[in-house]
Amino acid sequence: NPNKTFEYRIMAYGEDQLLLIIRDVSRVSQLEEMRKDFVANVSHELRTPLTVINGYLEVLSVEDEDKSPFVGKAMMEMETQTKRMQALIEDLLILSRIEASSERIYENTIDMTGMFAQVEMEAKALNKEKRHNISFKIDPDLVIFGVETEMRSACSNLVFNAIHYTPPGGTIKVLWKKRADSAYFAVIDDGDGIDDKHLRRLTERFYRVDKARSRKTGGSGLGLSIVKHVLNHHNSFLNIESKVGKGSEFSFILPPELVYEKNTHS
């Protein structure tokens, strides 16, 4: 039945028998699909009114030159908050798209060097205030199979987080290199670090170690959830090592079947 979804489990039963358990999970997966559709639709519908509000706020702040300091301050705050809401909606849409992604990862190769050049440019712009010492060490010959928009989203989220959660003047290293037949990516910072008790839940939607602080950084709380889904789609997973007050390392390994080395294939 094409409308049914089943889950299978095989277990050892006694000495020489196997037990096959088939569970009908159609209802659960149907509800999950409905939830995903709902989130995608709501996000999409919220986009237009927010763009209109933001547009008018921008026009008003330029046109109304005689506004009182209070009105000026209120308008600035409204602009900041609508921008935050827009960023949150964009992240929700990215997440829904990745969750529903049927794009085949083996159909396209990604020029990671070009991608990292862009991420580096954006990171340096974001870093102006914090003045971290950021270094990118990128292997130019390492090309992979995958979905570029997704990979870029994952890598930039990890780099931007390191910038946000490292006190000014910190050191951030971004590495992309070959490791055996796999490809290894890491962002290492000497920032705030994260207590062990949070690590397990960090990639859940909207999970934050310090809610007030994360809000100030302007993050949506969806960044690591996006990373988790992208990596899952690319046969990988996020590895987090961290110590409070010392710093964090967020890394992943892409398996050999996704690695396509420029030199050997040209």
Site residues (CB under 6 A) for ligand ADP? 157, 161-162, 165, 189, 191-192, 194, 202, 208-210, 214, 219-225, 248
| Shortest distance in whole angstroms from residue 247 CB to ligand ADP | 7
Residue closer to ligand ADP, measured from CB, 96 or 214: 214
Structure tokens, 49: 């009114």
SS (H, E, C) the chain: CCCCCEEEEEEEECCCEEEEEEEECHHHHHHHHHHHHHHHHHHHHHHHHHHHHHHHHHHHHHHCCCCCHHHHHHHHHHHHHHHHHHHHHHHHHHHHHHHCCCCCCCCCEECHHHHHHHHHHHHHHHCCCCCCEEEEEECCCEEEECCHHHHHHHHHHHHHHHHHCCCCCCEEEEEEEEECCEEEEEEEECCCCCCHHHHCCCCCCCCCCCHHHHHHHCCCCCHHHHHHHHHHHCCCCCEEEEECCCEEEEEEEECHHHEEEHHHHC
Residue 202 or 253: which CB sits closer to ligand ADP?
Answer: 202
Instruction: Give me the least distance between CB of 230 and ligand ADP, in Å please.
Output: 13
Shortest gap between Cβ of 20 and ligand ADP (angstroms)? 39
Comparison of 143 and 222: residue with beta carbon closer to ligand ADP: 222
CB of 14 to ligand ADP, least distance (A): 46
Nearer to ligand ADP, 40 or 199 (CB): 199
For 91, 135, 179, 203, 233, the CA distances from 226, given in Å and listed in that order, are: 8, 24, 24, 8, 11
CB closer to ligand ADP, 95 vs 143: 95
CB of 107 to ligand ADP, least distance (A): 28
CB of 252 to ligand ADP, least distance (A): 14
Give whichever of 60 and 175 is closer to ligand ADP, judged by the CB atom.
175
Nearer to ligand ADP among residue 72 and residue 167 (C-beta): 167
Burial string for 73-99 (b: 16+ CB within 10 Å, else e) reads eebeebbeebeebbebbebbbbbbbbb
Output the smallest distance, CB 209 to ligand ADP, in A.
3
